[in-house]
Amino acid sequence: MKLSIVILAAGQGKRMNSDRPKVLQPLAGRPLLGHVIATARTLEPTAIEVVYGHGGEQVRAAFAGESVGWALQAEQLGTGHALMQAMPSIADDHLVLVLYGDVPLIRRETLAALVALAGPRAMSLLTVQLPDPTGYGRIVRDADGRVQRIVEQKDATPDELAIREGNTGVMAVPAGLLRQWLGRLRNANAQGEYYLTDVVEMAVADGVAVRPLVAPTVPEVLGINDRLQLAEVEAEYRRLRARALLQAGVTLADPARIDVRGTLETGRDVFIDVNVVFEGHVRLGDRVRIGPNTVVRDSSIGADTQVFACCVVESATIGASCNIGPFARFRPSSQLADEVHVGNFVEVKNSRMGNASKANHLAYVGDATVGARVNIGAGTIVANYDGANKHRTTIGDDAHTGSNSVLVAPIVVGEGATVGAGSTVTKAVPAGKLTVARAKQVTLEGWKRPVKAPKGGV
Ligand code: UD1
Ligand code: CA
């Protein structure tokens, strides 16, 4: 059967105490709904429909680039009513897979298994065994274990409340039958809502098979209603990502102190120390070592490079066998060749540095093209900004800049040139020569240090 996926995401999330709609709350840096859409995509459905309501325009805007359909549920009258809003765009011969926008860790494998259980005359239902299913709808089975219906917590009898099998809300239902059943829903229940869960009883009455699947893992069905649950799911996500890295052969100083908010590709024998955050798409080559308290975003780091403690690396391509940090910062768009050293309190922005070049201490390298074997002395500043425009600087191979020198861009420092310490250079620095641009040192003979006038004196 063709597959249509509907993601219910109209709930307000009052308990978040936030101005942001619940499904836009970030998990690992990405909105909850983004996780669900990404997983839904892996099933290659014909269409994905998102039912939205609260914070509507904000939600749609956050996913403007996604090819999903949007169905507005103007008033939140229940899960059945929500699903109904998406049905007009779904053909009768499709299978409808219902997901929740606030259940972000649901796994592709589980959904594939659930979809495989359903068919033209069979619906499937994802359930979960919980020691404490408070808040969940309960799965009522008959003596032979066949699912009879779902009863919501607020409508359940004490006997029903003792049932430990909860409804996750995720189900796969043939669209034609679903449409009929949704049309028959009534809201005569404790919450005055149109419960999607009531379709189970209708299926049973119509002789349609209801096939339960108990969720293989609990975290994947956890819903998020408040910030405590959000933090718990974030921790679970962290564990999952850390485990995958360990299995791939990465050494983690502490699996509980690494955050991967995006994709991380790793070579062999990579070591990652504590409190490291990866964002966007990051690639680490073989034997890369990342020191503690470091953030790496959208960057690639070559084999055998070491990043020492407390660095921030953003949109950089770093070569092999480099030494970075401690306390180095890369702002977007830098390329380092191999064996480059960028040391403490050095900021590099939109620059290239050639093989074996070094900026070991206290420097700013902005909008510069630096050749090979260049030594950028401590305190060298590339003054790339004139207050209105940015200008480029070129530093030739084997050049050295002295401590505390200012290179006022646009400027070219020739190959093998040396800029004397404390120089402010504003014109081309010739190759192979020493250029000094600072006041000459003078010593005043016979100069006397002033002394204080005596107190109370004339
Ligand atoms: C629902 C199920 C319950 C299940 C629980 C799992 C029903 C009647 N009950 O309960 O059996 O154990 O989920 O978490 O289905 N939503 C809308 N529009 C609405 C109402 C909800 O889009 O009018 C969306 C929410 O944004 C959320 C999802 O549906 O993503 C579930 O809503 P929620 O209110 O959390 O469901 P419960 O009533 O707690
Ligand atoms: Ca819920």
Say which CATH topology domain 227-435 has. Answer: UDP N-Acetylglucosamine Acyltransferase; domain 1 (2.160.10)
Task: Give the pairing type, strands 2-9 and 47-52.
Answer: parallel
pLDDT band at 456 (very low <50, low <70, confident <90, very high): confident
Active site residue 54: no
Say which CATH topology domain 2-221 has. Answer: Spore Coat Polysaccharide Biosynthesis Protein SpsA; Chain A (3.90.550)
The bound ligand whose nearest atom lies closest to the alpha carbon of 153 is 1
Q: Which helix (H) or strand (E) holds 151?
A: strand 147-151
Q: What is the pLDDT of residues 294-343, one digit of tens each?
A: 999 999 999 999 999 999 999 999 999 999 999 999 999 999 999 999 99
For ligand 1, whether the C-beta of 325 sits within 6 Å is no
Q: Looking at residue 16, what DSSP letter applies?
A: G
For ligand 1, whether the C-beta of 196 sits within 6 Å is yes
3-state helix, strand, coil in the chain (%, to 5): 20, 35, 45
Catalytic annotation, pick one of 341, 361, 391, 400? 361
The pLDDT assigned to 55 comes to: 78
Ligand 1 pocket test: which of 79, 163, 214 has the largest number of ligand atoms within 8 Å of its C-beta?
79
Q: Which tokens go with 126?
A: 């994802």
For ligand 1, whether the C-beta of 33 sits within 6 Å is no
The bound ligand whose nearest atom lies closest to the alpha carbon of 54 is 1
Q: Looking at residue 441, what DSSP letter applies?
A: P
| CA–centroid distance, residue 78 to ligand 1 (Å) | 7
User: Which residue is associated with the tokens 């050749």?
Assistant: 371
CA distances (Å), origin 246, targets 253, 293, 298, 300, 303: 11, 19, 21, 20, 18
Q: Which tokens go with 231?
A: 């933090």
Q: What is the pLDDT of residues 89-128, one digit of tens each?
A: 999 999 999 999 999 999 999 999 999 999 999 999 999 9
> Could you give the CA distance from residue 357 to residue 203 in angstroms, rounded to a whole number?
71
CB-CB contact of 49 with 69 (8 Å): yes
> Could you give the CA distance from residue 353 to residue 338 in angstroms, rounded to a whole number?
9
User: Which residue is associated with the tokens 């030494």?
Assistant: 323
Atom 26 of ligand 1, nearest CA residue: 11
For ligand 1, whether the C-beta of 344 sits within 6 Å is no
| CA–centroid distance, residue 18 to ligand 1 (Å) | 19
Q: Looking at residue 428, what DSSP letter applies?
A: P
C-alpha closest to that of 178 among 100, 48, 83, 52? 83
The pLDDT assigned to 13 comes to: 86
Domain boundaries, the chain: 2-221, 227-435
Q: What is the pLDDT of residues 253-306, one digit of tens each?
A: 999 999 999 999 999 999 999 999 999 999 999 999 999 999 999 999 999 999
Three-class secondary structure of residue 100 per DSSP: strand
**Which is the closest atom of ligand 1 to the Cα of 136?**
12
Three-class secondary structure of residue 78 per DSSP: coil
Q: Which helix (H) or strand (E) holds 141?
A: strand 138-141
User: Model pTM?
Assistant: 0.93
Question: Which residues have a beta carbon within 5 Å of ligand 2, which is an ion?
Answer: 223
Task: Give the pairing type, strands 165-174 and 94-100.
Answer: antiparallel
Q: Which tokens go with 186?
A: 């009534």
The pLDDT assigned to 457 comes to: 63
For ligand 1, whether the C-beta of 9 sits within 6 Å is yes
CB-CB contact of 387 with 409 (8 Å): no
Q: Which helix (H) or strand (E) holds 265?
A: strand 258-266
